[in-house]
Amino acid sequence: MAVVKTISIEDFTTDAGAVYKQIDLQYQQFGQAIDQAPVVLINHSLTGDANVTGPEGWWSEIVGPGCTIDTNHYAIIAFNIPGNGVNDNVLKNFEDFHTGDIAEIFYLSLKQLGISKLFAIVGGSIGGGIAWEMAALYPMLTENLIPVAADWKASDWIIANTFLQKRLLENSSEPLKDARIHAMLTYRTPASFTARFGRTINKEKNIYNVESWLLHHGDKLKSRFLLDAYKAMNFFLASISITRNGKSFEQILENISSNIHIIAIDSDLFFTAEEDKKTFERGRKIKKNIFYHEIKSIHGHDAFLIENAAVSKILSGIFK
């Protein structure tokens, strides 16, 4: 596991006008030296972190030596979203921020590391939303923008689900556990559950195996994640929107120089393929170098963490 390093951003003012004397950002670096190789920024998902590769890495079948995003060739940077709880780092006033602020903090950190140009920004789920935000703020920053199972805005469906998550986090007697159980229902699909569990019973516990599995995931998150961190990440997820400052999606897209590779999942119940297709259809009217890719899977939103061969196949066309 790469060492978790800290970078400090001084005198940061959020879009809402809140002033922070210092924001500490934790990050990890993998592969080549940043001044000697093309740099790839990878943004993690809601309850993920910057540990993208290696034995404990959440994307180690995609990122690593000889993998599609090859650490023998690329320099990889991954930031922890501020307030995600790594090293007990939480934001008490997380409502001062939105994902555009997070994007700005990531950009300032890259600048401090001496990085002015990226080969790619890749992000899964909320990380893909932050990738969109970075490209909207800094249209020349990256050669390739690759949002995976993500979109440039939180849809009404995302907002509705984060609203329920917020209520669970505030009102449940086991907030992390119950919020995670609900979240798993949006990350997977009915077909995925049927294929995996088939109404089988866990005889030891005398409950359905699907119930046992959900309880296990609830307990697992409860043991590794902080409640304040989950509240912040959930709030940020609902805030994704590159058009919050009055410019239209088309106006913003027109300025983005990057090749844009939208990677959707046909069965995603969270960031739906339907929304991604709408983004692509609007985008292709004004931009030639925007592409739509679709992963076929029964597993829904989580397919970007499960269908490694399909993800690799798409990414290998970009990371030649």
Report yes or no on whether pTM surpasses 0.75: yes
For the chain, residues classed under CATH 3.40.50.1820 are 5-153+242-316
In this structure, CATH architecture of domain 157-236: Orthogonal Bundle (1.10)
For CATH 1.10.1740.110, the residue range(s) in the chain are 157-236
pLDDT of res. 202: 98
Rounded distance between C-alpha atoms, residue 231 and residue 19, angstroms: 21
Q: Mean pLDDT, 10 residues at a time, over the chain (320 residues)?
A: 93 98 97 98 98 97 98 98 95 97 98 98 98 98 98 98 98 98 98 98 98 98 98 98 97 98 98 98 98 98 98 97
pLDDT of the residue at 164: 98
For domain 5-153+242-316, the CATH class is alpha beta
pLDDT at 2 (0 to 100): 86
